[in-house]
């Protein structure tokens, strides 16, 4: 199986895709992520930009398939393999005027080993927007879980440890060299921040509640 661009909630239905058809419904997204894609166009070789030829991310999974990468991510995150790959590329191919979406889409198979089809700029933007939306929703969900006293301090540490391990693994697969000292320092900082979040949220819950919409403060019990 190979990758195929798919739409997410909030993406305009009339957006262009690499297949030239109207955008599918959100229910079709996961199925299309793992289904067949078109054969990459013969636009490689001399036509490949120099920065694309030098790009060395994802080389650790050169022999992997889109399906295997997608299954791994689905088991541990809310994102798909296409969203992961394109989010990384959008970060790496960002200029002062914005993200080079045309370059990313036209050279996708050259940039990411498990991506076998080229994407239109619109399809790249769809995957980028989908990634951002999922991160925002996951962040709100996690932070609420941390603030609502659902987890004990020890359980929250476990959640953070598991999340950090998955994130570090993805970075390492991308080719980021993580020193042990840097990893430990990052883990300590994250744990310290989350302890502060838990303590401050406890004080907030017991003292007063502020409406996130209008800022009105309610005394507990009001």
Kindly tell me if the per-residue pLDDT of 89 is higher than 60: yes
Residue closest to 91 by CA, chosen among 1, 170, 9:
170
Q: How far apart are CA 203 and CA 69, in angstroms?
A: 42
Q: Does residue 11 fall inside a structural domain?
A: no
Residue closest to 28 by CA, chosen among 169, 126, 101:
126
Kindly tell me if the per-residue pLDDT of 182 is higher than 60: yes
Contact present, 90 and 104 (Cβ < 8 Å):
yes
Specify the number of domains making up the chain: 2
Kindly tell me if the per-residue pLDDT of 91 is higher than 60: yes
Structural domain harbouring 188? 150-219
Q: What pLDDT, in 10s, does the model give residues 27-68? A: 445 544 544 333 444 444 568 899 999 999 998 887 778 999
**Are residues 133 and 30 located together in one domain of the fold?**
yes
3-state secondary structure 21-54: CCCCCHHHHHHHHCCCCCCCCCCCHHHCCHHHHH
Q: Does residue 6 fall inside a structural domain?
A: no
Q: State the average pLDDT over residues 98-103.
A: 96
**Are residues 129 and 177 located together in one domain of the fold?**
no
Q: Does residue 143 fall inside a structural domain?
A: no
Q: What pLDDT, in 10s, does the model give residues 110-140? A: 999 999 999 999 999 999 999 999 999 999 9
Q: How confident is the model at residue 215 (pLDDT cuts 50, 70, 90)?
A: low
Q: Does residue 5 fall inside a structural domain?
A: no
pTM exceeds 0.85, yes or no: no
């Amino acid at each position: 199986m190979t990758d195929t661009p798919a739409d997410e909630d909030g993406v305009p239905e009339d957006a262009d895709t690499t297949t030239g058809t109207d955008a599918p419904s959100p229910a079709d997204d996961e199925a299309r992520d793992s289904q067949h894609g078109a054969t990459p166009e013969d636009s490689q070789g001399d036509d490949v930009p120099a920065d694309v030829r030098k790009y060395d991310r994802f080389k650790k999974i050169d022999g992997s398939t889109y399906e295997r990468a997608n299954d791994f991510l689905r088991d541990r995150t809310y994102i798909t393999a296409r969203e992961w790959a394109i989010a990384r590329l959008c970060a790496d191919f960002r200029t002062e005027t914005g993200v080079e979406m045309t370059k990313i889409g036209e050279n996708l198979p050259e940039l990411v080993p498990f991506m076998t089809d080229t994407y239109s700029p619109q399809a790249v933007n769809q995957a980028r927007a989908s990634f951002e939306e999922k991160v925002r929703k996951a962040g709100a969900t996690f932070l609420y879980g941390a603030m609502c006293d659902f987890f004990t301090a020890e359980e929250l540490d476990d959640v953070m440890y598991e999340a950090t391990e998955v994130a570090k693994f993805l970075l390492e697969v991308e080719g980021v060299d993580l020193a042990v000292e840097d990893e430990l320092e990052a883990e300590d900082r994250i744990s310290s921040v989350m302890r502060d979040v838990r303590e401050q949220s406890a004080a907030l819950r017991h003292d007063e509640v502020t409406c996130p919409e209008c800022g009105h403060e309610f005394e507990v019990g009001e």
